[in-house]
Structures are given as structure tokens and as C-alpha cells.
């Protein structure tokens, strides 16, 4: 993925994600507009205002995964883009 802009994220999501799927995100602006493109089950938690869960909606699982992955990958002092996915698969 070249960047995490709204346009890029929507392009990646469109065609890969069924519109009826539930999407839980944080309040980052790149996710604005998902409802407009048909993802009506988009729920946000806003960490900037000390909100980390809203009922059953949270992103704790993915945050836990990336925290673990970063801790594991830091010992390599960087990995090449070409093999990053292989390191991630081992996580």
C-alpha cells in the first residue's frame, strides 16, 4: 500500500470487502467516507477523546497484534519490503 490516505484506503477496500461486513476503526480521518461508499456497518472508537470501546465495538485485537508484531520485528533492526510479509506471517 503506497499510503494510508482516504482515497487509497477506499480503493483497497472497494472490491475486497463486502459492504455488509462490520468494520471497526479508530477515529483516523482516512476512514471517513466508508459509509458513503456503502459500508453501512462502520463503527469508530475515538482514542483522542479517551474512548477505547463503545459497547462491543473496539479495535483491541488488531492493536494487540500490531503491538506484538512490532516488538518481535524490532530485533531485526528493519526488514526489507520484499520479505516483510514473510516475517509478519511468522508473528
Residue 42 main-chain phi, psi, to 5 deg = -100, 120
Do 46 and 6 fall into the same domain? yes
Per-residue pLDDT of the chain (91 residues; tens, 9 = 90+): 788 898 998 888 888 888 888 988 888 888 888 888 888 888 888 887 787 887 888 888 888 898 999 999 998 888 899 999 998 888 7
Give the number of domains in the chain: 2
> What pLDDT sits at residue 15?
80
The whole-angstrom separation of Cα 9 and Cα 53 is 23
Can you give the pLDDT at residue 39? Answer: 85
Do 13 and 43 lie in one domain? The reply is: yes
Q: Which domain holds residue 63?
A: 59-91
Shared domain for 6 and 34, answered yes or no, is yes
Same domain, 35 and 63: no
26 touches 59 (CB < 8 A): yes
DSSP 25-86: EES-GGGTTTTTTT---EEEE-GGGT---BTTB--HHHHHHHHHHHHHHGGGT---HHHHHH
Amino acid at each position: 500500500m503506497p499510503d494510508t490516505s482516504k482515497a487509497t484506503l477506499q480503493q483497497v477496500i472497494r472490491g475486497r470487502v463486502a459492504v455488509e461486513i462490520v468494520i471497526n476503526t479508530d477515529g483516523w480521518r482516512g476512514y471517513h467516507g466508508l459509509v458513503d461508499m456503502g459500508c453501512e456497518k462502520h463503527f469508530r472508537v475515538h482514542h483522542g477523546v479517551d474512548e477505547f470501546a463503545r459497547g462491543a465495538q473496539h479495535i483491541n485485537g488488531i492493536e494487540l497484534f500490531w503491538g506484538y508484531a512490532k516488538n518481535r520485528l524490532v530485533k531485526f533492526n528493519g526488514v526489507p519490503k520484499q520479505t516483510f510479509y514473510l516475517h509478519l506471517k511468522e508473528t
